Amino acid sequence: MEKKRLFDPGQLVATCGGMTGLILDQEMYGRARKTLPEGRKAGRYFAPGCCRRPDYVTQIPVLFEDGTWDVMRPMNIKKKSHIAEER
Protein backbone atom coordinates (compact mmCIF):
# COMPACT_ATOMS: atom_id res chain seq x y z
CA MET A 1 0.00 0.00 0.00
CA GLU A 2 1.29 3.46 -0.89
CA LYS A 3 1.55 6.22 1.65
CA LYS A 4 -0.40 9.37 0.90
CA ARG A 5 1.60 12.58 0.72
CA LEU A 6 0.52 16.13 0.07
CA PHE A 7 4.08 17.19 -0.72
CA ASP A 8 7.00 15.20 -2.11
CA PRO A 9 10.67 15.70 -1.26
CA GLY A 10 12.38 18.08 -3.69
CA GLN A 11 9.30 20.22 -4.39
CA LEU A 12 9.54 23.99 -4.22
CA VAL A 13 7.10 25.70 -1.86
CA ALA A 14 6.36 29.18 -0.56
CA THR A 15 4.91 30.31 2.76
CA CYS A 16 2.06 32.77 3.08
CA GLY A 17 4.68 35.39 3.98
CA GLY A 18 6.57 34.88 0.72
CA MET A 19 9.56 32.82 1.93
CA THR A 20 10.53 30.11 -0.52
CA GLY A 21 11.77 26.69 0.45
CA LEU A 22 12.46 23.12 -0.56
CA ILE A 23 10.74 20.02 0.85
CA LEU A 24 13.34 17.79 2.54
CA ASP A 25 13.51 14.01 2.43
CA GLN A 26 14.17 11.97 5.61
CA GLU A 27 17.96 11.89 5.18
CA MET A 28 18.32 15.61 4.41
CA TYR A 29 15.94 16.45 7.27
CA GLY A 30 18.13 14.50 9.72
CA ARG A 31 21.23 16.39 8.56
CA ALA A 32 19.44 19.76 8.69
CA ARG A 33 18.33 19.13 12.30
CA LYS A 34 21.95 18.53 13.32
CA THR A 35 23.65 21.37 11.45
CA LEU A 36 21.21 24.19 10.67
CA PRO A 37 19.20 26.42 13.01
CA GLU A 38 15.44 26.04 13.31
CA GLY A 39 13.64 29.02 11.76
CA ARG A 40 10.53 29.10 13.98
CA LYS A 41 8.49 30.67 11.19
CA ALA A 42 4.80 31.44 11.39
CA GLY A 43 2.78 28.36 10.49
CA ARG A 44 5.24 25.81 11.78
CA TYR A 45 4.09 22.54 13.33
CA PHE A 46 4.98 22.33 17.00
CA ALA A 47 4.19 19.93 19.78
CA PRO A 48 6.37 18.56 22.58
CA GLY A 49 8.60 15.79 21.25
CA CYS A 50 7.26 15.96 17.71
CA CYS A 51 8.66 15.52 14.27
CA ARG A 52 11.31 12.82 14.52
CA ARG A 53 9.70 11.19 11.47
CA PRO A 54 7.48 13.66 9.57
CA ASP A 55 4.57 12.06 7.73
CA TYR A 56 4.37 14.57 4.81
CA VAL A 57 0.61 14.92 5.39
CA THR A 58 0.42 17.00 8.58
CA GLN A 59 4.16 17.60 9.11
CA ILE A 60 6.24 18.82 6.17
CA PRO A 61 9.99 19.50 6.68
CA VAL A 62 11.11 22.55 4.68
CA LEU A 63 14.56 24.09 4.10
CA PHE A 64 14.19 27.83 3.58
CA GLU A 65 16.24 30.21 1.47
CA ASP A 66 17.69 31.91 4.56
CA GLY A 67 19.42 28.67 5.61
CA THR A 68 16.95 27.61 8.32
CA TRP A 69 14.53 24.70 8.48
CA ASP A 70 11.09 24.15 9.98
CA VAL A 71 8.44 21.46 10.05
CA MET A 72 5.46 23.26 8.57
CA ARG A 73 1.73 22.65 8.54
CA PRO A 74 0.43 22.03 5.02
CA MET A 75 -2.16 24.81 5.19
CA ASN A 76 0.62 27.39 5.55
CA ILE A 77 2.67 26.46 2.48
CA LYS A 78 1.82 26.34 -1.21
CA LYS A 79 3.42 24.45 -4.09
CA LYS A 80 5.37 26.57 -6.54
CA SER A 81 6.18 25.53 -10.08
CA HIS A 82 9.01 28.05 -10.54
CA ILE A 83 10.93 30.44 -8.36
CA ALA A 84 12.87 33.47 -9.54
CA GLU A 85 16.48 32.59 -10.43
CA GLU A 86 18.06 34.96 -7.92
CA ARG A 87 16.44 33.01 -5.08
64 forms bridges with which residues in the sheet? 21
Q: Specify the pLDDT at position 4.
A: 73
Cα–Cα distances (Å) from 78 to 4, 7, 36, 72, 83, in that order, read 17, 9, 23, 11, 12
More confident residue, 63 or 40: 63
Across residues 72-81, what is the average pLDDT? 89
Residues for the chain: how many in total? Answer: 87
Across residues 31-49, what is the average pLDDT? 86
Q: Are 13 and 24 in contact (CB under 8 A)?
A: no
User: Per residue in 5-34, pLDDT tens?
Assistant: 788 899 999 998 889 999 999 999 999 999
How far apart, in whole angstroms, are the C-alpha atoms of residue 35 and residue 27?
13
On the question of pLDDT at 54 being above 90, the answer is no
Q: Specify the pLDDT at position 86.
A: 45
